[in-house]
Amino acid sequence: MSDSGADTAPNVQLPNVHVRAEVLVQALPHMQRYDEEIVVIKYGGHAMGDRAAAEDFAEDIVLLEQSGLKPVVVHGGGPQIGRMLDRLGIKSEFREGLRVTDEATVEVVEMVLAGSINKQIVGWISAEGGKAIGLCGKDGNMVRARRAARTVMDPDSHIERHIDLGLVGEPEHVDRTVLDAVLKAELIPVLAPVAVGSDGQTYNVNADTFAGAIAGAMRAKRLLLLTDVPGVLDKNKNLIPELSIEDCRRLIADGTITAGMIPKIETCIYALEQGVEAVVILDGKVPHAVLLELFTDYGAGTLIRRS
Mean pLDDT confidence for 231-258: 93
To the question of whether residue 206 is assigned a binding role by annotation, the answer is: no
Q: Say how far residue 270 (Cα) sits from the centre of its chain.
A: 15
Encoded amino acid at 255, one letter: G
To the question of whether residue 77 is assigned a binding role by annotation, the answer is: yes
Residue in 75, 87, 50, 41 with CA at minimum distance from that of residue 218: 41
Sheet with 70-75, strands from edge to edge, namely 132-136, 188-192, 70-75, 38-43, 222-227, 278-283, 301-305, 242-244
pLDDT score at 102? 87
Domain assignment of residue 286, yes or no: yes
Q: 109: domain CATH number?
A: 3.40.1160.10
Domain assignment of residue 35, yes or no: no
In total, how many domains does the chain have?
Answer: 1
Calculate the average pLDDT of the chain: 87
H-state helical runs in the chain: 3-8, 13-34, 51-66, 78-88, 103-110, 118-127, 177-184, 207-218, 245-253, 261-273, 289-295
Domain assignment of residue 36, yes or no: no
Mean pLDDT confidence for 290-305: 87
Flag the least confident range among 15-19, 180-184, 224-228, 288-292: 15-19
To the question of whether residue 204 is assigned a binding role by annotation, the answer is: yes
Instruction: Name the 3-class secondary structure at 148.
Output: coil
Where does residue 21 rank: exposed (0-12), middle (13-18), buried (19+ CB within 10 A)? exposed
pLDDT score at 9? 46
Flag the least confident range among 27-31, 93-97, 235-239, 294-298: 93-97
Encoded amino acid at 52, one letter: A
Q: Between 21 and 212, whose confidence is greater?
A: 212
Domain assignment of residue 259, yes or no: yes
Q: How far apart are CA 213 and CA 270, in angstroms?
A: 8
pLDDT above 50 (res 241):
yes
Q: What is the pLDDT of residues 47-71, one digit of tens each?
A: 676 788 888 899 999 999 999 999 9
pLDDT above 70 (res 152):
no
pLDDT score at 5? 46
Domain assignment of residue 90, yes or no: yes
Domain assignment of residue 1, yes or no: no
Percent of the chain exceeding pLDDT 90 equals: 60
For residue 304, the tally of other CB atoms under 10 A from its CB is: 27
To the question of whether residue 250 is assigned a binding role by annotation, the answer is: no
Q: How far apart are CA 43 and CA 40, in angstroms?
A: 10
pLDDT score at 228? 85
Domain assignment of residue 227, yes or no: yes
Q: How far apart are CA 8 and CA 4, in angstroms?
A: 6
Mean pLDDT confidence for 75-90: 90
pLDDT score at 4? 44
pLDDT band for 212, please (50, 70, 90 cuts): very high
Domain assignment of residue 34, yes or no: no
Instruction: Give the domain range for residue 150.
Output: 41-305
pLDDT score at 155? 60
pLDDT score at 292? 86
